[in-house]
């Protein structure tokens, strides 16, 4: 089930309404990657500064926590009340959503407190070498895809065991929301791992070369 380009553009742009804004050019790159993450390359982000990447990450975290997860949770609760708790697939879906939410919350919390805080500080001219070492030691490639393969196997199990459940509109809405968040996170994680770390390193090295 593919979102149209206009719906996808709306999903991407709607998060940038608060304090954290990015240019139309940045949104265009996100849109391109959201449609096909295999087009990802470092050069796409060459025109953008550390401020842009930081703003994108902050706005996206707020969007995941404030919009995506509540939507997923509402659909999950709705499904549970439609099917009843005693349905074993309903219980599995409920547990999956609970774990997924907890893991994403915790991941974002660490990034906000350590990673984005460090970068916010250096953007404000406050540099701490101790925090820098912590940043680079703790941030590299902390994303895992385990929970995502879980999502696929859960959907497969529903397909095999319960065609009625598969056709349920609430279930379909829930998986659409989960897949949409998954796509968003795929691009988000690439930007964190491949772009944000590099831009932060360049920023620190150009301003504090004696400390590098």
Binding site residues, Fe ion, CB under 5 A? 111, 192
Work out how close the CB of 94 gets to Fe ion at its nearest, in angstroms, rounded to a whole number: 25
CB–CB of 175/155 below 8 Å? yes
Instruction: Please give the structure tokens belonging to residue 36.
Output: 């096909």
Instruction: Please give the structure tokens belonging to residue 92.
Output: 């599995």
DSSP string, 96-151: HHHHHHHHHHHHHHHIIIIIIHHHHHHHTT---HHHHHHHHHHHTT----HHHHHH
Which CB atom, from 108 or from 151, has the smaller least distance to Fe ion?
108
Work out how close the CB of 172 gets to Fe ion at its nearest, in angstroms, rounded to a whole number: 27
Which CB atom, from 162 or from 193, has the smaller least distance to Fe ion?
193
Distance (Å, whole) CA 187 – CA 95 = 25
Which CB atom, from 184 or from 192, has the smaller least distance to Fe ion?
192
Block residue for tokens 């707020």 = 62
Which CB atom, from 67 or from 172, has the smaller least distance to Fe ion?
67
Work out how close the CB of 134 gets to Fe ion at its nearest, in angstroms, rounded to a whole number: 16
Which CB atom, from 52 or from 192, has the smaller least distance to Fe ion?
192
Distance (Å, whole) CA 151 – CA 157 = 10
Work out how close the CB of 132 gets to Fe ion at its nearest, in angstroms, rounded to a whole number: 19
Work out how close the CB of 189 gets to Fe ion at its nearest, in angstroms, rounded to a whole number: 5
């Amino acid at each position: 089930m593919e979102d149209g380009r206009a719906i996808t553009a709306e999903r991407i742009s709607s998060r940038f309404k608060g304090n954290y804004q990015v240019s139309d050019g940045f949104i265009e790159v996100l849109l391109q990657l959201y449609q096909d993450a295999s087009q990802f390359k470092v050069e796409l982000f060459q025109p953008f500064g550390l401020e842009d990447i930081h703003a994108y990450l902050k706005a996206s975290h707020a969007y995941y926590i404030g919009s995506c997860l509540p939507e997923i949770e509402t659909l999950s609760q709705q499904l549970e009340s439609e099917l009843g708790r005693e349905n074993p697939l309903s219980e599995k879906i409920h547990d999956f959503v609970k774990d997924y939410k907890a893991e994403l919350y915790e991941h974002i919390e660490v990034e906000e407190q350590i990673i984005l805080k460090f970068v916010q500080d250096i953007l404000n001219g406050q540099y701490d070498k101790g925090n820098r070492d912590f940043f680079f030691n703790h941030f590299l490639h902390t994303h895992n895809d385990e929970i995502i393969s879980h999502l696929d196997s859960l959907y497969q199990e529903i397909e095999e065991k319960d065609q009625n459940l598969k056709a349920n509109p609430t279930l379909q809405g829930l998986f659409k929301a989960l897949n949409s968040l998954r796509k968003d996170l795929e691009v988000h994680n690439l930007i964190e791992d491949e772009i944000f770390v590099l831009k932060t390193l360049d920023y620190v090295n150009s301003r504090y070369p004696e400390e590098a």
